[in-house]
Chains A and B, each alone.
Chain A
Amino acid sequence: MVMKQVKIYKRFERFWHWTQASLIIFLAVTGFEIHGSLKLFGFEKAVSFHQNASYALLGLIVFAIFWHFTTGEWKQYIPTTRKLIDQIQFYSVGMFKGERHPVNKTELSKLNPLQRLVYLGFKIVLIPVAVVTGLLYMFHKTININDIVVIRGFDLEIIAVLHTSVAFLLLAFLILHVYMTTTGHTPLSNIKAMITGYEELEQEEEQQQPEKENIS
Chain B
Amino acid sequence: MYKNIFIVIVLVVAVLWLINFFHEDEMYNLHLEQLKQEYALQPVSSVDHSKLPALKKEFKTPQEVTAACISCHTERHKEIIASTHWNWERVAYIEGRGISVVGKKNVLNNFCIGSNANEQSCARCHIGFGMTNDQFDFNNANNVDCMVCHDNSEEYLKGNAMAGYPDRTVNLKNVAQHVGAPTKDDCGACHFYGGGGNNVKHGDLEYALLACDKNIDVHMAANGMNMSCISCHTAENHVMKGRLYSVSSENTNRAYCEDCHTNTPHFDDLLNRHTAKVACQTCHIPVYAKVNSTKMSWQWSEAGKLHDGKPYTEENEYGDHTYMSIKGKFEWAKNVIPDYIWFNGTADHYILGDTIKSKPVAMNTLNGSFDDKYSKIIPVKIHRGDQIFDLQTKMLIQPKLYAPQPGDSAFWEDFDWELAAKAGMERVGLPFSGDYDFIETVMFWPINHMVSPKEQSVGCAECHTRDEGRLVKLTGFYMPGRDRIWQIDLLGNLIVIMSVLTVVGHGIIRLIVKSKRQKLNIH
Contact = CB atoms under 8 A, between A and B. Distances in A.
Interface of A: 34-36, 42-44, 47, 49, 51-52, 56, 91, 95-98, 140-146, 148, 155-157, 160-161, 164-165, 167-169, 171-172, 175-176, 179, 182
A44 B457 CA distance: 13
Interface residues of B, number: 43
Given A164-B484, A165-B488, A175-B499, A43 B465 contact: yes
A44 B277 contact: no
Nearest to A98: B517
A60 to B, nearest CB: 12
Contacts of B502: 176
B481 interface: yes
Given A142-B277, A165-B492, A96 B499 contact: no
Nearest to A37: B489
B498 to A, nearest CB: 8
Interface of B: 17, 21, 263, 270, 273, 275-277, 373-374, 376, 459-461, 464-466, 477-478, 480-485, 488-489, 491-493, 495-496, 498-500, 502-503, 506-507, 509-510, 513, 517
Nearest to B482: A36
Contacts of B478: 155-157, 160
A176 B502 CA distance: 8
A44 B460 contact: yes
Contacts of B513: 96-98
Given A146-B275, A179-B507, 10 more contacts: A36-B465, A36-B466, A98-B517, A142-B277, A146-B263, A161-B485, A164-B484, A165-B492, A168-B488, A171-B492
Contacts of B485: 157, 161
A141 B492 contact: no
B510 A96 contact: yes
A35 B496 contact: no
B466 A176 contact: no
A141 B465 contact: no
A168 B482 contact: no
Contacts of B483: 157, 160
Nearest to B479: A156
Contacts of A182: 507
A161 B498 CA distance: 20
Contacts of B498: 172
B480 A160 contact: yes
B261 to A, nearest CB: 13
Contact of B496 (A49, A96, A141, A168): A168
> DSSP majority for the B interface?
helix
A142 B495 contact: no
Contact of B506 (A51, A140, A144, A179): A179
Nearest to A169: B495
Nearest to B24: A48
B459 A179 contact: no
A98 B518 CA distance: 11
Contacts of B507: 179, 182
Contact of A95 (B481, B495, B510): B510
A144 B371 CA distance: 10
Given A36-B482, A43-B465, A95-B510, A146 B276 contact: yes
B491 A144 contact: no
Given A141-B276, A146-B275, A179-B507, A172 B499 contact: yes
Contact of B481 (A36, A148, A167, A168): A36
A35 B484 contact: yes
23 contacts: A34-B480, A35-B480, A35-B481, A43-B461, A44-B460, A49-B21, A91-B506, A95-B510, A96-B510, A98-B517, A140-B273, A142-B277, A143-B373, A144-B275, A144-B276, A144-B373, A157-B483, A164-B484, A165-B488, A165-B491, A167-B492, A176-B503, A179-B506
A49 B273 CA distance: 18
Contact of A175 (B460, B481, B496): B496
Nearest to A91: B506
Contacts of B461: 42-44
Contacts of B270: 47, 51
B460 A36 contact: no
A179 B481 CA distance: 31
Contacts of A49: 21
Contacts of A146: 263, 275-276
B496 A148 contact: no
A156 B482 CA distance: 13
Contact of A168 (B17, B275, B493): B493
A90 to B, nearest CB: 12
A142 B488 contact: no
A20 to B, nearest CB: 15
B466 A168 contact: no
Given A168-B496, A175-B503, A179-B507, A36 B276 contact: no
